[in-house]
Amino acid sequence: MAYVPLILAAVVVFWFVAAYNKLIRFRNQIKNAWHQIDVQLKRRYDLIPNLVEVVKDYMSYEQETLTKVIEARGAALSAKGAAAQAKAENALTESLKSLFAVFENYPDLKANRNVAALQEELTGTENKISFARQFYNDSVMTYNNAIQSIPSNFVASLFNFAPEAYFETAAESRAVPKADLR
């Protein structure tokens, strides 16, 4: 009978350590997911100046579009945290969409192999960013569920595990584009 309190205490300690370690694993998974996004974003940032350099001679009348792309890239490079980074990335994505839309006015530019290769690289990188964002958001969901669910929420509150922010897209980019077939 004297061992029952010791066994009960050992079970509680074991559970406490297991819950704490699980939360640490989830938090580290989020950090890893964020670094995966960061790797892809860096690749994207490296491709953009090359694209701008190649197209600027063709697009002498579109300097404003090129300037917006460069400014959006600079803002994205300096953004800190998931929410600020998401906002800056959404702005950069919109400026790149504008740039690609302007390509339609320049047949020689569309036919340029360097431009086509850079555009293909950027498209591939955008897809990788999308997958990395999905992994990050899945990791955030798992972590947030763990810190808000009983009984691990007791350990989370004791050690100040705070909810993480999702990497969200802008509302405008979720809107369904309108097709005008006239």
How confident is the model at residue 104, as a pLDDT?
Answer: 79
Structure tokens at 154: 């007791």
Which residue, 80, 69, 20, is CA-closest to 45? 69
How much is the pLDDT for 170?
65
Q: Which of 22, 6, 36, 4 is nearest to 131 (CA)?
A: 36
Asked if residues 158 and 76 have their Cβ atoms less than 8 Å apart, the reply is: no
The DSSP 8-state label assigned to residue 144 in this structure reads H
Distance of CA 34 to the CA centre of its chain: 7
pLDDT band at 55 (very low <50, low <70, confident <90, very high): confident
44 touches 69 (CB < 8 A): no
Which tens digits make up the pLDDT trace of 122-176? 999 999 999 999 999 999 999 999 999 999 999 999 999 999 999 987 655 545 4
pTM of the model: 0.81
